[in-house]
Structure 1
């Protein structure tokens, strides 16, 4: 796949390993403001069924939803490092990893297979369409393996509507970062919802909000809203089932039952 974006200034090994970047010129993905109409019953329904939007136009986003095989000194992870985001497996080696958000500062979710006592450096990076780093930070691993949220801080410039951004989450298995990391990457785009859907969300309860986001193809708010509910109600079996069904529905059953360990 040809690339029109330059990679960020990551170590050479990672630069070689990363998949192609996006082109700087692109049209909007599936903008809910123009392609989706709110359901009369969505705001009353708490059952979460994710309705994937239309695939993005050319060039395809590419990406990596799983951390992959052993690299350098990295041990084998079971389950693997996983990005909790929809993906399209076009071939055994060709994957599109992408999702929509309505938030200016969204939260990204990952299954982390290592606890913090593993002492492996981890890093999150967000780039704009021109491959300029928007946000780059070291990430403290959670106390135990599990699902972790990484929120874009309010101190960072808000994501621009209808622009694509590329994210990376990497775990290095040596302190000096001399070996290629285990990493995942994908594309996120911020869109607006119609006024009618926004009004539904204003009057809906949190689980209803998650269902509305899901129906309209807004992955990041679907997942974040449900994750916050689970963190607030850790013993709620119905929320656990909704989470498990949602993660399984996008093809990530290996991590669907993993605990949420931090945000």
Structure 2
């Protein structure tokens, strides 16, 4: 004799871990958690360009800066990095946007009155965009978006960015900074088709699986800004940052608003 268990409403958690085959199931309204059901995110980093390698710095504060407040975690770029040698780190990522958004963990607040600046350079090291950055009210993750009046990134060209914090208001002492390279690429038609039918949470995972770091992170960060307590979003955020070794940033708040 077979037992048939009744289908219960509110079985979202069970669906997350089980695969059920049901004949003519009764319609069940989707809960918010079911709509944002997370999956394990695997970021597939593309190979950095070999000549010359991007270089860069994902963590700030390596030099002696006695004027700066000591903070942990340090100023951090939320960008993938690979270790070329014991002394060479490559900090770089792909974007599909002409005016992308970059993310940083900033341990300093506006009370410190440290002048802070974001700079973007072209491949010839010419500054093409420079913006003073207002420090936040509390330590946390901030975004810096290239505005529409900034030079648009060209496809397949590399651009170097810097986020610099001057602990000396007169800018006479060495600053704290992070540095890396961003490259705009075109999406393959198959990926574009997948994105068109995916939810925003699924889109973040699709970007990550195809090496498009900046859109993977931005899509997910913007979802978390709207709903910071959503468990599925927290899980995917943790997975994404853990993929690039930034476990100490996972629990830091994503701050609202613009950083300019």
CA distance in 2, matches of 1:251, 1:145: 20
TM-score with structure 2 length normalisation? 0.81
2:78 to 70, 74, 84: 84
Structure 2 match to 1:60: 53
Alignment match, 1:156? 150
Residue-pair matches, total? 220
Looking at structure 2, the residues matched to 81 and 133 of structure 1 have their Cα atoms a distance apart, in angstroms, of: 22
Q: 2:105 aligns with which of 88, 98, 111?
A: 111
Cα displacement (A) at 1:247: 0.7
Partner of 1:47: 40
Residues 72 and 179, structure 1, Cα contact 8 Å, conserved in 2: no
Structure 1 contact 162–191 (Cα < 8 Å) conserved:
yes
The answer to whether the aligner puts 1:251 opposite 2:215 as a matched pair is no
In structure 2, C-alpha distance between the alignment counterparts of 1:131 and 1:97, rounded to whole Å = 16
1:143 CA displacement: 1.1
Query: Which stretch of the first structure deviates more once superposed, 244-253 or 140-149?
Result: 244-253
Structure 1 contact 72–180 (Cα < 8 Å) conserved: no
Matches within 5 A, 1:204-243: 204-243=198-237
Q: Within 5 Å, give how 1:52-201 maps onto structure 2.
A: 52-69=45-62, 70-201=64-195
User: Residue 91 of structure 1: SS of its match in structure 2?
Assistant: coil
Asked which structure has the greater CA Rg, the reply is: 2
Question: SS state of the match for residue 229, structure 2?
Answer: coil
What is the CA distance between 1:68 and its match in structure 2?
2.6
Q: Secondary structure at the match of 2:162?
A: strand
How far did residue 177 of structure 1 move? 1.0
Aligned-partner Cα distance in 1 for 2:168–2:188: 47
Identify unmatched segments of 5+ residues in structure 2: 1-36
